[in-house]
Structure 1
Amino acid sequence: MSRATGLLIAAPRSGSGKTTVALGIQRALVRRGLRVRGAKCGPDYIDPAFHMAATGMPSFNFDSFAMDREFLNTLAAQSAAGTDIVIAEGSMGLFDGVRQKLGHTGASADIAAVFGWPVVLVLDVSGHAQSAAAVALGCARFDPRIEIAGVVLNRVASQRHRNLVEDGLERIGLPVLGALMRNNDLILPERHLGLVQAGETDELDRRLEHLADLVETSIDLDKLLALGRPTQIGLATCGTTLTPPGQRIALATDQAFSFVYQHVLAHWRAAGAEIATFSPLANEPPPNDADICWLPGGYPELHAGRIADATSFLQGLRSFARTRPVHGECGGYMVLGEALEDGDGNVHRMAGLLPVSTSYAKRKIHLGYRVAHLLHDGPLGSAGRRLVGHEFHYASIMQGDTSKDTAFAAVTDAEGTDLGTMGHRVGTTTGSFFHVIAHS
């Protein structure tokens, strides 16, 4: 079964410019009148929002560790329907993942192999010339399941530099699809969890148009389009989708609460759930006609003062929690706690629904896949339910009840190492730093 063609834009390592290249290609192809869909390999909230801005269509995450093949088939079928081409973006390096059996590592290469998508390799050639071909050759030979169909050179210093790099690539027979010169105007603003969110990026549409202009003049789009292959979708679908936590879901949505996977929302809606958004930063309480309130992750630490002063939101949240479930992921969990210390050391009172206080001033990175087993019945499932997701934050817990009676879940890392318990539960209010991707 096949539908839209697809390509994966990947790189040997992080920081090579694959997001810039992917966005430029996506917007340039949209300007040609093609129906383009973005996709992101692995856990990431921010890049898919940029894909959506570039293409006008939601961008799903594909994750070979967190999702079974049936669920991947479902997402691929939805992405390919009514689409001419899927331009997927890898994460980290092409083969970077966890230590699991081949095909289940979470690496971008797994996704290229599953769907038969050729890989366009973005090579950051700053600091080397012909040696870049050795890197590309290693990528081409490392995994026989995938095909490196061509390369895009990035951060080229001069025409002479480009000639030297292409000399090396000619020796190994890899076609160069184009080259982007070293240009600080191509850099999108970043903050501690990655790019600044699409909704916060000044003049985003102008930036995307500029990227598309550069791609049009620097990359052979006709040759690139010809490399695309039909997306191979297996017959079995469904798999590890997420059951809606309620019929009508009050979803916090603004610049402080924006980390929601599009595949989660799509499958909640497909199961018949309604999603009612509200803005804590606008001092809006959760809609009173909702069955559950969901506070997603985001950047509450950047808006802690406004949240602390949002009395209608906080009072409405506390009132809601007296009769219905409330769940917080990462940033939402921090807001459900007693207090949040911002980066300047200022402590702000939060909702006080969970016995935890967090600090962004005492920064420590927490990063990786997590497998959680629920300790109690709740909005994400019954006690014992297995969830797969990830953790990515810099906040530290200043104080909190660590007893198992109030914990949200028992967790391990991707290799099964016991990490103890995570998060908290008080009555029907739950929360943790865990971002759920799928049930299993």
Structure 2
Amino acid sequence: MAAGLVISAPASGVGKTTLTLALARAWRNRGLNVQCFKSGPDYIDPAFHAAATGRASVNVDSWAMDRGGIAHLVSRGADADVVLAEGSMGLFDGVAARGVSGTGATADIAEMLGWPVVLVIDPSGQAQTAAAIAAGLRDYRAGVRLAGVVLNRVASPRHEDLVRRALDDAGIAVFGALPRHAEISLPKRHLGLVQAEEQAEIGKLIDEAARFVAEHVDLDAVLRFAASWSPQPAANGLNVMPPGQRIALARDAAFSFVYPHMLEAWRGAGAEILPFSPLADEAPDASADVCWLPGGYPELHAGKIAANARFRSGLRAFAETRPVHGECGGYMVLGAALTDADGISHEMAGLLGLETSFAKRRMHLGYRLAELAAPIPGHQVGARLRGHEFHYSTILAQPDTPLAVVHDATGAVIAETGSRRGHATGTFFHLIAEDR
């Protein structure tokens, strides 16, 4: 039976990911099997979890997934000693309107699975007020249990003492206090952390974080507060169908935002995934029956993509007879042109008329519910697809036939409809699951 915990915080940027990685590696170093999950639609953190634990991590999302799908995904923790779910944003932060089984808040997952929450609290610029915040989070919602807190970025022993005393008065356990330590800071860029696969020293960084946290946090006390958990039988998995039998998948530093549960579902249904690298000027495998370009960072590599003639000509030839689909960054590359941060326009594949600019930056962020007006690989006309959009690029032109009617989480219609032309389709959202 595993020990289940949720790692959360009052807000983003407090240190959830670093603590999750450090705890996972520290317990793994003690010989325990650790399974991680990511609450919410973040497609970067699961790769860090895998680097820390040696086990694949997947997203669990209460807005896009039903309880059966979530139960199916977390059942992979059945053979683990410790199961950690890393939250997103603040503990209760979700969208205004309920989705399939919740609002997307980390608290939904904590309540659904019965796992207590370890709060990461950054008391910078405050002292006793940190205890008031922790107490407010503890009492905000019945059904969500607080195990205790880990203090992060504590300024001094006196500062730590003031906060600890206040938390003790509030009846809240303090598992440890971390002083500032630059050596365990994870580098960031505009869409979040620099990806784990791009960091050659990620293993050393996680080892240092584990050493540091083991020195300052009572790991045994944290485990004592964890919930004994064994997975409940899942009536069904996620409603995710493979886009084809043999899938040519763009996969490199420019095309890397793929939800792990999607790839697992494709393989579980018998599909074969054939990765290729546009940055290495590779074309999709000619034996594939569909090509899928996921999101990533094409705006950082636009010049190289434009210069890679073999990739672009091979993609065009593939699309003459077989479907090609792009998500977010992949959608941008299927378009006519991409303007980089310096204002330089680069020719893309031209399978769609989409023109985008990273020079004119505006954040697009949120859940998306799309009803397809035309099929995409793996999904028919009328299918209701749930996904998530997060990018800073601006549409300059979107002249092709709209692919779908797309709503945000409040039900408002949005302009990013996706596009279709011939065998090519694309969306700005990343698909999580189809409604049943």
- TM-score strictly above 0.5: yes
More displaced 10-residue stretch of structure 1: 139-148 or 193-202: 193-202
Which residues of 2 match residues 187-202 of structure 1 at below 5 A? 187-202=185-200
CA distance in 2, matches of 1:226, 1:392: 38
Q: Classify the secondary structure of the residue corresponding to 1:76.
A: helix
Partner of 2:93: 96
Q: Shift in Å at residue 233 of structure 1?
A: 3.8
Partner of 1:415: 410
Partner of 1:146: 144
Letter paired with 1:138:
G
Partner of 1:161: 159
Q: Classify the secondary structure of the residue corresponding to 1:353.
A: coil
More displaced 10-residue stretch of structure 1: 21-30 or 223-232: 223-232
Percent identical residues: 56
Which residues of 2 match residues 86-235 of structure 1 at below 5 A? 86-101=83-98, 104-231=102-229, 233-235=231-233
CA contact (8 A) 1:116 1:232 kept: no
Could you give the per-residue CA deviations for residues 324-351 of structure 1, whole angstroms, max 9, x where no partner exists? 1100000000000001111111111110
CA contact (8 A) 1:367 1:393 kept: yes
CA distance in 1, matches of 2:72, 2:341: 41
CA distance in 2, matches of 1:315, 1:223: 59
CA contact (8 A) 2:239 2:433 kept: yes
CA contact (8 A) 2:78 2:230 kept: no
Which residues of 2 match residues 371-410 of structure 1 at below 5 A? 371-401=369-399, 406-410=401-405
CA contact (8 A) 1:41 1:62 kept: yes
Letter paired with 1:371:
L
Of residues 259, 262, 287, the one that matches 2:260 is 262
CA distance in 2, matches of 1:87, 1:227: 13
Unaligned stretches of 5+ residues in structure 1: none
Matched, 1:83 2:85: no
CA contact (8 A) 1:358 1:396 kept: yes
Q: Classify the secondary structure of the residue corresponding to 1:312.
A: helix
Partner of 1:429: 424
More displaced 10-residue stretch of structure 1: 371-380 or 155-164: 371-380
CA distance in 2, matches of 1:431, 1:64: 25
Q: Classify the secondary structure of the residue corresponding to 1:164.
A: helix
More displaced 10-residue stretch of structure 1: 19-28 or 178-187: 178-187
Could you give the per-residue CA deviations for residues 135-175 of structure 1, whole angstroms, max 9, x where no partner exists? 00000000111110110000101111110000100101111
Partner of 1:65: 63
* Cα separation, partners in 2 of 1:359 and 1:101, compared to 1, 3 Å: closer
Q: Shift in Å at residue 202 of structure 1?
A: 4.0
Q: Classify the secondary structure of the residue corresponding to 1:70.
A: helix
Q: Classify the secondary structure of the residue corresponding to 1:318.
A: helix
CA distance in 1, matches of 2:295, 2:98: 30
Which residues of 2 match residues 343-358 of structure 1 at below 5 A? 343-358=341-356
Partner of 1:35: 33
CA distance in 1, matches of 2:351, 2:11: 41
Query: What is the total number of aligned residue pairs between the two structures?
Result: 434
Letter paired with 2:425:
T
CA distance in 2, matches of 1:76, 1:344: 43
CA contact (8 A) 2:323 2:377 kept: yes
Q: Shift in Å at residue 215 of structure 1?
A: 1.0
Q: Shift in Å at residue 4 of structure 1?
A: 2.6
TM-score by length of 2: 0.97
CA contact (8 A) 1:189 1:201 kept: no
Instruction: Please provide the CA RMSD for this pair.
Output: 1.3
Could you give the per-residue CA deviations for residues 17-47 of structure 1, whole angstroms, max 9, x where no partner exists? 1111111111111111111111111010111
Q: Shift in Å at residue 275 of structure 1?
A: 0.7
CA contact (8 A) 2:63 2:98 kept: no
CA distance in 1, matches of 2:119, 2:281: 45
Could you give the per-residue CA deviations for residues 360-392 of structure 1, whole angstroms, max 9, x where no partner exists? 000000000000001112214111100001110
Unaligned stretches of 5+ residues in structure 2: none
CA distance in 1, matches of 2:3, 2:267: 26
CA contact (8 A) 2:8 2:91 kept: yes
Could you give the per-residue CA deviations for residues 291-341 of structure 1, whole angstroms, max 9, x where no partner exists? 111000000010111111111111111111111110000000000000111
